[in-house]
Amino acid sequence: MNKLVKHILALLFCGCLLQPASAEELKLTSLDGNTVLTVNIDEQISWSVEKYNRTILPKVIVDMTVNGNPLAKSPSLKAKKEVDRSESFEVTVPLKNHKVSNEYKELQLGFKGGFGLHFRVYNEGVAYRFFTSLRGDVEVNNEVMDMVFPDGTNSYFPKEVSTYSHYERNYLHLDIDSIPVGDFCSLPVLFNQDNEQLRVLFSEANVYDYPNMFLESAGNKHLVSMFPKAVKETIPQPGARADRNVIITKEHDYIAKTNGKRTYPWRLFVITNDDKTLLEQDMVMQLSDPLKIDDTSWIKPGKVAWDWWNDNNIYGVDFESGLNTETYKYFIDFASSYGIEYVILDEGWTKSTTEILDFNPDMDVKELIRYGEEKGVGVILWCLWKPLDENMQEILDTYAQWGAKGIKVDFMQRADQYMVNSYEQIAKACAERKLLVDYHGSYKPNGLRRAYPNVISYEGVKGNENNKWSEDITPLHNTILPFIRMAVGPMDYTPGAMINMQKENFNISFSRPMSMGTRCHQMAMYVVFESGLQMMCDNPSNYYKEEECTRFISKIPSVWDRTIALEASVGEYVAVARQNGENWYLGGMSNWEERTIHLDFAFLPKGTFELELFTDGVNANRFAQDYKVKTITVQKGDKLTLKLAKGGGFAGILHPVE
């Protein structure tokens, strides 16, 4: 052997010695064979994912720092196991499908040092989470997720200016490499590759006793995880909103103090080249804890006559409208007339915003609850989170004793560990008293509602209420929401505006608000948008005046046996079919573009169906409230072409013909 060969072999041998003994590459492939997740264990733990024979995420580095020690530094693998699952479960309040299929492959990795990782691959995407098996309580200082994206990736980026937020954001269409270092967003967030032909939706699930994750730009196509620190001390914000806003004055140096033997939240990625998948997938539900309530028979989803958006601006009555008993009896009468399940008493019903155990002298809440029961209408009570948190047991006991059906709790505005725990505490305490919960001023759904289905809806969305003070709620915005925010769970957008305008006619009015887009655009929301508690935001006087539309909306349920996406393109258009019992319901919406939608009734079972259909009127481009209603018969396999106006939409109900 000559000296050159010996020298090369020596170098190769030294190189091998420099590699950590634990270096390993592990692969996990989806059941359909299209998605391949590769885990690399070297000086650190990273993973990548391929789908459609291309690299989607080239490198994601993950780690956790617990009690000041990075767990995944020079990791040593001691156990691995691959598991296949093919199961299904039923959803108590089904907002997409009554039965959810849960089929995946899972790679379970255990490392020296008392920690490990679970990786799951679904046909629709991938997910991972940490677990630890450490004694006693631990302090989690940080959880690292460092993602690098391929060239040309852009995003729908819900930029935040603080983690103290209502999480009601516009989705900014930004190139990843153009996001300034330090800018960050809340979740969910959508990434786009291959000229927007491929989507990656990122969010989280099963978040308990742990803060929400945010994503921060680190520059050079990198986004990294960030978390709010655990809150140590707050003081009321000086001024008019001291009842609901706080200033965080001290934070701990950790993000969570928690039991050392536990699993942590799932980090999930829906990956698809078909926008319909974003509407049909249910990964947050699949990755969340099962039911924790024994009796769910009392949980009743439905629609709500809502007061706050329309500022109690009823007319044609012989009493002065406002925050008084007569006005709310009018709301209850309206709800009863149309079979609407609930009325909300929003801000103003209490003696003050902090004295929420008593009502204002012009409103007899006990009488309203009694009157509602007589009329078959339940009453839901709004309250601020801050006073509720300070006196939860007495307040909830009182509301339950009065006969209220639920609470709309507002102004949480945080996503730290204490607040996440508060969400579960409220859900559990309300379930014990058979009270529904609608979270406003809230972060997005994280899976809590599978365990506590009395959590009937979440806000955390820039919805119709913003019409009262801004021009942000456009048909473009509305055709983005189903693919991002709604893709992770219900959103209390509060649809139903009866005063509808095209862009050039829209005006901001706090007391007499209106919406952008057509009447049918608003009506379609009752089918397209998911919420177990679907608001009717306009005032009863307007609904009475628009009897034909109101009667139609009142027939649309808020829960579904099955959902099928018919047409879908993020920020352009959306059309869905949803089944409830023997009936099917159609809804479709467009952005500001006029367009033609082609409906294929291949989803129908055999037989003849009568279709009651609301479409944009011939003059809807000028007068947005113009609509046309017709009834036709259709069968499986029939096709129908619909023309949508600017900001347009359509809605339909299909009844089987005997």
**Catalytic residue IDs:** 410, 465
Residue 177 and residue 191 in contact, taking contact as beta carbons nearer than 8 Å: no
3-state helix vs strand vs coil in the chain, percent to 5 = 20, 40, 40
What is d(CA 464, CA 460) in angstroms, rounded to the nearest whole number? 12
Give the C-alpha separation, 634 to 586, whole Å: 13
Cβ atoms within 10 Å, residue 391: 12
The tokens of 238 are what? 């000086």
Residue type, 319: F
Query: Cα dist. 1→4, 8, 9, 14, 43 in Å?
Result: 8, 11, 11, 18, 35
User: How far apart are the C-alpha atoms of 589 and 543, rounded to whole Å?
Assistant: 21
Residue 150 phi, psi (nearest 5): -65, 160
**CB atoms inside a 10 Å sphere around CB 69:** 10
- DSSP line for 236-260: EPSSTTTTT-EEEEEE-SSSEEEEE
Q: Strand 378-384 to strand 342-345: parallel, antiparallel, or no bridges (unpaired)? A: parallel
Distance CA 188, CA 491 (A): 13
Helix 325-337 / helix 365-375 crossing angle, nearest 10 deg = 20
Distance separating alpha carbons of residues 424 and 259, to the nearest angstrom: 17
Angle at CA of residue 597, ends 592 and 601, nearest 5°: 145
Give, in degrees to the nearest 5, the angle at Cα 642 between 641 and 643. 130
Instruction: Annotate 588-609 with three-state secondary structure.
Output: EEECCCCEEEEEEHHHCCCCEE
Q: How many CA atoms lie within 13 A of 211 on its CB side?
A: 27
**CA 255 to CA 142: how far, in whole Å?**
6
Query: Are 49 and 35 within 8 A, CB to CB?
Result: yes
Distance in angstroms (rounded) separating the CA atoms of residues 177 and 208: 33
Q: Which tokens go with 563?
A: 């959902």
Helix (H, G, I), strand (E, B) or coil at 109: strand
Question: In 3-state terms, what secondary structure has residue 325?
Answer: helix
Structure tokens at 144: 């690292």
Contact 437, 430 (CB under 8 A): yes
Find, among 269, 230, 60, 245, the residue nearest to 141 by Cα. 230
**Residue entry with tokens 């972060």:** 443
Q: Which H/E stretch holds residue 281?
A: none
- What is the C-alpha to C-alpha distance for residues 298 and 378, in angstroms, rounded to an integer? 12
Q: Say which residues have a Cβ less than 8 Å from residue 337's Cβ, sequence separation at least 6.
A: none
Instruction: Output DSSP code: residue 501.
Output: E
Q: Which of 207, 226, 222, 209 is nearest to 266 (CA)?
A: 207
Q: At what angle do helices 547-554 and 519-528 cross, to 10 degrees?
A: 10
